Amino acid sequence: MTMAPPTLAFLVLLIPLASAVLIALVLRRRGGLASCVSLAAAAGLAVGAAYLALWGGRFSFHAEWFRLGEFSFPIGILYDDLAALMLSVVAVVGLCVHVFSLGYMRDDTAKARYFGGLSIFMFSMVGIVLSDNLFMMFAFWELVGFSSWLLINHWHEREAASDAAKKAFIVNRVGDVGFLLGIVLCYWRYGTVNLGELGALSASGAIFSSRAIPLLLFCGAVGKSAQLPLQVWLPDAMEGPTPVSALIHAATMVAAGIYMLCRIQVLMVPQALTVILWVGTATALYAALCATIQSDIKKALAYSTLSQLGYMVAAFGLGSISGGPGPGVASGVGAAMFHLTTHAFFKALLFLGSGSVILGCHHEQDIFRMGGLAGRMKFTFVAFTVGVAAISGLPFLSGFFSKDAILYLAFANNRPVFAVLAFTAALTAFYMVRLWRVVFLGAPRSQAAGHAHEGGWSLTAPLAILAVLALVGGYAGLYGHAFSGVLSLVPEAVGADHAFIFATSVVALLVGAGTALVLYGKRAAERGEGQAGPPDALERGAPVLFGALVRLRSSFDRVYDYYVAKVQQRFALVLNFFDVIVLAGFIIRGAAGCAGLVGLGARALNVGRVNAYVCWLLAGVVLLWALAAR
């Protein structure tokens, strides 16, 4: 291949766009062909990404897209190890999800729209990854929001899907208000939003002292990565097709917030990092608590995603370890990106596994109506088990290494956070083993589960690839030196610390998994069959605790619903009343009547007469004018 790497990078960006355009223009009614085009684009992207990562070198490139006055909108590519790692993750998971979708969406009536949406998503996501400046990143940031809307909305006949898509877009835009403001202020304050130039400024000794700018930019991550208090859209987003949940709402788009933080690491100041740290920690704990009471397989995984994203954000917020490699927040970046990578593999695996389960059980999503699938869906069972083991932190699987790095960083930098994250690790093991036990073991609890069956190769092949990655993805040596700029930053515990962290994580795993196995063990499973009472053993055993968790889970939505329905909507109606009645009716019409009362002229009494309108309009103008111009 003789193509210059920057050209190849642009090609990687534009291939999925070309696929989306082609599908939108000519393949709208040709679902089969559209899926092939989209799959080919994803494969091309994967090949390009692999070539770039291994042999493309590292480069940056930019050009002016347009200019107005002193402002020049740049487009450019910054391809460093960070971008290379993220692009590889997006490419691998993207390709797996495309293949899985061939089987999962085989009988869908709007296949072309679905695959076109996947392509437009890949385009937008690759754009975020490659952007060398925040303006360009913001443009693609909005576009992933749009593709997310499009794909959540796929089954738009269902009101729930339509509402969830709307909610996701709007909540993301709330975060984007801060993000955009942060970008704009950064531009005026530091004179550039180019990531390379910001890095150079910081290296040359310029001090980035603003607390507001990194925190405003973080708002964008709070929206996109669904951190507290904007996490409410992600569980609802599970209304989308399951492969979409795997790609967008688990592995890539929601991780873009963490990636963005790593891109702007030079702007961070300690106070901002503290806020980021606690937001992430609180999200990790809150979401893990919510995950323990879910009966919908996808929502359980969604809350688990939230919790793991909280881990990554917290890792970033922990900043650098004293005496660790690299400047600034390097250790945090290493730990966050490492966990992002392994999480992308095992969470995509879990979601696709749940997709296989859902399809096998004829679109049943309630885990208490499954059971005993291990025997009927052996392949999915094995793959899902690998995912569960990885996320729970079973030693020597991918999740174990990345989670340990975060726990070690917390142990070294902030003990309270360490305690919370270790407890969350136990909760993680609990809710994942609970899910696994209830879905795959015991006896089938419904007709559908009894007749479950494995899907075709397009469903199993991606599971196999992702399962392998979830097994071995934690060994940094696997990647050669391709991403060493990031992975060498991962903090590694040594000596007594190492033993302590190892012990903590094994204890967390044993306690969490053990509790789940006891609570949802054989007796509980047998009792559930055909008997009165709630199906969840926790709900039967500790109804008070269960009720408290349910209230905790819905508290945010209740507050927001109250705000939207009772505050915003009423305020809008009052303003509308003001606009229609007071401004248009009273001031313009009624003013004429009032004028007559004060005796300013009998003619003005004639409400609705042209003269009165003109007089009062002019009077208003004169009044405003007098106020402003003396």
Whether residue 412 contacts residue 335, with contact meaning beta carbons closer than 8 Å, is answered with no
By C-beta, is 542 or 622 nearer to other proteins?
622
Answer for which of 51, 187, 423, 502 binds other proteins (CB under 8 A) is: 187
Q: Which amino acid is at 491?
A: P
- Shortest gap between Cβ of 73 and other proteins (angstroms)? 7
Q: How far apart are CA 86 and CA 53, in angstroms?
A: 10
CA 77 to chain centre: 23
Q: How far apart are CA 223 and CA 279, in angstroms?
A: 12
- Shortest gap between Cβ of 243 and other proteins (angstroms)? 21
CA 278 to chain centre: 18
Answer for which of 25, 63, 68, 602 binds other proteins (CB under 8 A) is: 68
Q: How far apart are CA 245 and CA 241, in angstroms?
A: 7
Tokens of 373: 């699938």
By C-beta, is 363 or 630 nearer to other proteins?
630
Q: CA torsion, points 516, 297, 399, 96, in degrees to nearest 10?
A: 150
- Shortest gap between Cβ of 538 and other proteins (angstroms)? 34
- Shortest gap between Cβ of 28 and other proteins (angstroms)? 8
Tokens of 22: 């082609």
- Calculate the alpha carbon distances from 386 to 203, 349, 398, 433 in Å: 43, 9, 10, 11
Size of the site for other proteins (CB under 8 A): 67
Contact status: 562 vs other proteins (CB under 8 A)? no
3-class SS letters over 492-506: CCCHHHHHHHHHHHH
Q: What x-and-dash track marks residues 571-610 binding other proteins by CB under 8 A?
A: xxx-xx--xx--xx--xx---------------------x
Which of 505, 337, 329 minimizes the C-alpha distance to 411?
505
Which of 299, 461, 301, 297 minimizes the C-alpha distance to 363?
297
By C-beta, is 83 or 171 nearer to other proteins?
171
- Shortest gap between Cβ of 599 and other proteins (angstroms)? 24
Q: How far apart are CA 114 and CA 284, in angstroms?
A: 32
- Shortest gap between Cβ of 117 and other proteins (angstroms)? 12
Q: What x-and-dash track marks residues 146-185 binding other proteins by CB under 8 A?
A: x--x---x--xxxx-xxx-xx--xx--xx-xx--xx--xx
Q: What x-and-dash track marks residues 14-53 binding other proteins by CB under 8 A?
A: --------------x-------------------------
- Shortest gap between Cβ of 220 and other proteins (angstroms)? 12
| Part in contact with other proteins (CB under 8 A); list of ranges 389-397, 458-466, 542-550, 568-576 | 568-576
- Shortest gap between Cβ of 182 and other proteins (angstroms)? 10
Q: Which amino acid is at 240?
A: G
Q: How far apart are CA 153 and CA 156, in angstroms?
A: 5
By C-beta, is 130 or 389 nearer to other proteins?
130
Q: What x-and-dash track marks residues 111-150 binding other proteins by CB under 8 A?
A: --x---------------------x--xxx-xx--x--x-
Beta strands (DSSP E) in 20-155 are 59-68, 71-79
Q: How far apart are CA 471 and CA 402, in angstroms?
A: 12
- Shortest gap between Cβ of 46 and other proteins (angstroms)? 24
Backbone angles phi, psi at 405, to 5 degrees: -60, -40
Q: How far apart are CA 179 and CA 162, in angstroms?
A: 26
What residue ranges bind other proteins (CB under 8 A)?
A: 28, 65-71, 73, 110, 113, 135, 138-140, 142-143, 146, 149, 153, 156-159, 161-163, 165-166, 169-170, 173-174, 176-177, 180-181, 184-185, 187-188, 568-569, 571-573, 575-576, 579-580, 583-584, 587-588, 610, 613-614, 617-618, 620-621, 624-625, 627-630
